[in-house]
Amino acid sequence: MTSSESILRGDRLALARLLTKVENDSPDGRATLIELFPHTGKAHLIGVTGAPGTGKSSLVNQLALHYRKAEDKRVAIVAVDPSSPFTGGAVLGDRVRMRDLSGDPNVFIRSMASRGSLGGLAQATANVVQVFDAAGFDIVIVETVGAGQSEVDIARLAHTTLVVEAPGLGDDIQAIKAGILEIADILVVNKADRPGVENTEKSLKSMLELAHPTTRVFKHHGTYMSMSMPESNQNANLWIPPIQKTVSTEGKGIPELVAAIARHVQHLRSSGDWTLRERTRLEVELEALIRDSLMTKFREDISSQQYEETLEKVIQRNISPWEAVRMLLNGRLK
Amino acid sequence: MTSSESILRGDRLALARLLTKVENDSPDGRATLIELFPHTGKAHLIGVTGAPGTGKSSLVNQLALHYRKAEDKRVAIVAVDPSSPFTGGAVLGDRVRMRDLSGDPNVFIRSMASRGSLGGLAQATANVVQVFDAAGFDIVIVETVGAGQSEVDIARLAHTTLVVEAPGLGDDIQAIKAGILEIADILVVNKADRPGVENTEKSLKSMLELAHPTTRVFKHHGTYMSMSMPESNQNANLWIPPIQKTVSTEGKGIPELVAAIARHVQHLRSSGDWTLRERTRLEVELEALIRDSLMTKFREDISSQQYEETLEKVIQRNISPWEAVRMLLNGRLK
């Protein structure tokens, strides 16, 4: 039986082996990815992001548990840690997860740390997600640590992006929200039993109104809800991110969050945004692969001596990097 | 007078105009960059990074003030905000800075938000730093918000990287430190008047010992110092990141921090690491430029119809992205 057949039949050991190959970008792993590609496109990809200290990992655990118990979905978790470029900080988180989720054959957890470049990590994550998709996992949750461009890159992978906040995380938080708000499909205020939760909700509410001028956010049964104002009713397909409160350590607010995610999927399907996001995702992936292939070909074509000599001229400030590129590319085309 | 001559003469208005051109990657800006490149390589590039809430911005302000007043150095600050890909969160920080530093012709502050891709931001930052270097600023401080790969990319730019921590920033902090410790040349515990400062120092200390097994960290006049153990004395060029305590809002610990930075420069010079870092930085930059040029040429060579048709086959899952790349590159080479 080939590797891809084993994966499609749900062989867990074959899956674990393939994930390692795919992460290392081995030729063998690549070949299996190509075989599996026609079987992808079915999973719901959920991105979970937010600043450190918001309790993302336990929230993801609770989401996975809920999808298992209440909906009998198969769930994969990809924990991406771009802040650990050299050592694996994510590994620690895994052990905590294991207590709740281990032993369930319909849950699979994979941690990934950065390997050299963010571009490399985004590509490796995309490939790992494809493997889980082909292997028949209904839900693939991609969780990222930190607050930066990495989130934006990972969010491009997901159908639904959750941005997690928590009360009392310091004074720079406002600045982060401003940027990250625009990738959020659902805003989660976790640790909602902590003091300051009202302030966190209020500031998210006003940022939402700022970002969506035709929106008013109101409180309904203790939760902030958002509603488009009449003048924007012509755009019925507009999605305003709802604010969901959770206490993930106690499982509070998880069913409501899952319901909000389901509403977002309905919105994506009815508005055509699901197809649009799939298209964008594959286009970004294709472009990244083209870039890598062109660079590989360049390295094959140029002599390392020629490259080193040109680099040395740049270091000596004899030529600028731009002139160096022109020389290298011209030399190659002759 | 050409643009590059104006810059070399210290014309502030010409500098501001060039920075805008360089950020927008205009052909005009590129041409001036090429002219200025031989005048670069003199500035000391300091990177400052750390999690949100550590008070990086006020620390950078204090550093700049100290370099102005105590050493009469010309200082440029580049505030990079990768967490604001769409809106400019960094602008707010600028207004706060202005109170302390505005009106001084030997200080220049520039904020940069992400534009589309992290690669683009890193390149734009590198170019802006080059402009300041050529314009004769002695110190160029690059400050980044967040905790992720962006820091690692920005750190590659700097000769000296400061990683800023602060007491009481939540439970995920440990995981961040693990990764970011390896890019730190100097560890700063800011807000050192806050409760919990002892714990922050202790955990940094044990992580340092873990990362440098031949090192013991000890306390000296209220500051944790690190020292290589005898068995590692053969490697005299080893640099162990010192831990510096500061209260940036009150300017406390700033002279000591500046002294530590000066020691690091001495270390870089005597060990040969200064040249090595310059080399690495220019090599990374050259490779990024080659990648961009290859992609631009690819786009010129291929018809958009051919590209769209191939992408559509990927979206329909008829071919995998890897097969698509092979087809596109072969088509182009015929």
A235 vs B: CB within 8 A:
no
Closest CB from B33, B119, B175 relative to A119: B119
pLDDT score of B321: 92
**pTM exceeds 0.90, yes or no:** no
Among B87, B170, B146, B175, residue whose Cα is nearest residue A151: B146
Query: What average pLDDT does this structure show over B95-103?
Result: 61
pLDDT score of A214: 55
Cα A166 vs. chain centroid, distance in angstroms? 19
A76 sits in which H/E element: strand A75-81
* A83: confidence class by pLDDT, cuts 50, 70, 90: low
A128 vs B: CB within 8 A:
no
Measured between alpha carbons, how far is B128 from A179 in angstroms, rounded to an integer? 22
Using the beta-carbon criterion (under 8 Å), do B85 and A179 form an inter-chain contact? yes
Query: What average pLDDT does this structure show over B73-95?
Result: 62
Whether pLDDT at B62 is above 80: yes
pLDDT digits (tens, 9 = 90+) for B162-186: 988 888 775 445 445 555 667 889 9
> Residue B258: exposed, middle, or buried by beta-carbon count in 10 A (0-12, 13-18, 19+)?
middle
Q: Which residues of B touch A114 (CB under 8 A)?
A: 149, 152, 179
User: Who wins on pLDDT, B236 or B156?
Assistant: B156
Task: Work out whether the CA dihedral B17, B90, B257, B182 comes out positive or negative.
Answer: negative
Note whether B141 and B157 are within 8 A (CB).
no
pLDDT score of B88: 37
Listed range (A39-53, A162-176, B32-46, B317-331) with the worst mean pLDDT: A162-176
Going by C-beta distance under 8 Å and a sequence separation of 6 or more, which residues neighbour residue A183?
A49, A151, A152, A155, A161, A163
Among B212, B135, B151, B147, residue whose Cα is nearest residue B174: B147
CA atoms within 13 A on the CB side of A63: 27
Q: Please, which residues bridge with residue B219 across strands?
A: B224
Using the beta-carbon criterion (under 8 Å), do B84 and A52 form an inter-chain contact? no
pLDDT score of A259: 97
Note whether B22 and B131 are within 8 A (CB).
yes
Amino acid in the structure at residue B246: T
Cα A22 vs. chain centroid, distance in angstroms? 17
pLDDT digits (tens, 9 = 90+) for B206-250: 777 776 655 555 555 545 555 554 444 445 568 889 999 999 989
Query: What average pLDDT does this structure show over A69-88?
Result: 75
Q: How does strand A223-228 pair with strand A215-220?
A: antiparallel
- The two tokens of residue B122 are 């890193």
Distance of residue B126 Cα from the nearest chain A Cα, in angstroms: 12
Using the beta-carbon criterion (under 8 Å), do A149 and B117 form an inter-chain contact? yes
Residue ranges of E strands in chain B: 44-50, 75-81, 107-113, 139-144, 160-165, 186-189, 215-220, 223-228, 243-245
Distance of residue A193 Cα from the nearest chain B Cα, in angstroms: 16
Query: What average pLDDT does this structure show over B81-87?
Result: 50
- C-beta atoms surrounding B204 within 10 Å: 22
Whether pLDDT at A254 is above 90: yes
Whether pLDDT at A162 is above 70: yes
Q: Which residues of A touch B145 (CB under 8 A)?
A: 147-148, 172, 175-176
Using the beta-carbon criterion (under 8 Å), do A81 and B175 form an inter-chain contact? yes
Ordered domains of chain B (ranges, CATH): 40-289 (3.40.50.300), 302-333 (no CATH)
CA atoms within 13 A on the CB side of A6: 12
Sheet holding A160-165, edge to edge: A107-113, A75-81, A139-144, A44-50, A160-165, A186-189, A243-245
pLDDT score of B325: 94
- C-beta atoms surrounding B173 within 10 Å: 21
Please tell me which of B35-44, B76-85, B222-231 the model is most confident about, judged by mean pLDDT: B35-44
> What part of A 137-196 touches B (C-beta under 8 Å)?
145-153, 166, 169-176, 178-180, 182
A168 sits in which H/E element: none
Query: CA angle at residue B147 from B144 to B153, to 5 degrees?
Result: 60
Residue ranges of E strands in B93-236: 107-113, 139-144, 160-165, 186-189, 215-220, 223-228
Whether pLDDT at B28 is above 90: yes
Query: Between A and B, how many CB-CB pairs are < 8 A?
Result: 250
Q: Which residues of A touch B25 (CB under 8 A)?
A: none
Measured between alpha carbons, how far is B201 from A72 in angstroms, rounded to an integer? 46
Whether pLDDT at A224 is above 70: no
Among A116, A113, A123, A121, residue whose Cα is nearest residue A84: A113
List phi, psi (to 5°) of A145.
-95, 145
A298 sits in which H/E element: helix A273-301
- The two tokens of residue B275 are 């040249």
Listed range (A166-180, A268-282, B18-32) with the worst mean pLDDT: A166-180
Instruction: Give the end-to-end CA distance of chain A in Å, rounded to a whole number.
Output: 48
DSSP state of B242: P
Note whether B84 and A178 are within 8 A (CB).
yes
Whether pLDDT at B326 is above 50: yes
- The two tokens of residue A282 are 């594959």
Listed range (A82-96, B41-55, B285-299) with the worst mean pLDDT: A82-96
pLDDT digits (tens, 9 = 90+) for B260-299: 999 999 999 999 999 988 898 899 889 888 988 999 889 8
Among A40, A33, A114, residue whose Cα is nearest residue A289: A33
Percent composition of chain B: helix, strand, coil (DSSP 3-state, to 5): 55, 15, 25
Listed range (A290-299, B81-90, B210-219, B246-255) with the worst mean pLDDT: B81-90
Q: Which residues of A touch B125 (CB under 8 A)?
A: none
pLDDT score of A124: 86
> What part of B 27-46 touches A (C-beta under 8 Å)?
30, 33-34, 37-38, 40-41
Amino acid in the structure at residue B108: F
pLDDT score of A245: 97
Distance of residue A242 Cα from the nearest chain B Cα, in angstroms: 21
List phi, psi (to 5°) of B10.
90, 25
Q: How does strand A107-113 pair with strand A75-81?
A: parallel
DSSP state of A38: G
Among A126, A166, A174, A138, residue whose Cα is nearest residue A289: A126
pLDDT score of B85: 44
A217 sits in which H/E element: strand A215-220
Using the beta-carbon criterion (under 8 Å), do B150 and A293 form an inter-chain contact? no
Listed range (A316-330, B124-138, B235-249) with the worst mean pLDDT: B235-249
* B157: confidence class by pLDDT, cuts 50, 70, 90: confident
User: Who wins on pLDDT, B80 or A316?
Assistant: A316
Using the beta-carbon criterion (under 8 Å), do A33 and B92 form an inter-chain contact? no
Measured between alpha carbons, how far is B187 from A244 in angstroms, rounded to an integer? 37
Whether pLDDT at A53 is above 60: yes
Measured between alpha carbons, how far is B103 from B82 in angstroms, rounded to an integer? 28
> What part of A 51-70 touches B (C-beta under 8 Å)?
51-54, 56
Whether pLDDT at B109 is above 60: yes
pLDDT score of A18: 95
Tell me how long chain B is: 334
pLDDT score of B23: 87
Q: Which residue in chain A is spatially nearest to B41 when comparing CA positions?
A: A317
Distance of residue B34 Cα from the nearest chain A Cα, in angstroms: 6
pLDDT score of B235: 53
Interface test with B, best of A149, A150, A302 (most B CBs within 10 A): A149
Whether pLDDT at B147 is above 70: no
Using the beta-carbon criterion (under 8 Å), do B322 and A33 form an inter-chain contact? yes
Helix (H, G, I), strand (E, B) or coil at B14: helix
CA distances from A138 to A3, A75, A126, A133, B10 (A): 21, 6, 16, 7, 61
Among B50, B64, B75, residue whose Cα is nearest residue B190: B50
Using the beta-carbon criterion (under 8 Å), do A145 and B84 form an inter-chain contact? no
ipTM: 0.77
pLDDT score of A212: 63
* A206: confidence class by pLDDT, cuts 50, 70, 90: confident
Using the beta-carbon criterion (under 8 Å), do A293 and B329 form an inter-chain contact? yes
Percent of chain B with pLDDT over 90: 45
Query: What average pLDDT does this structure show over A67-85?
Result: 83
Using the beta-carbon criterion (under 8 Å), do B170 and A40 form an inter-chain contact? no
Q: Please, which residues bridge with residue B117 across strands?
A: B115
Amino acid in the structure at residue A285: E
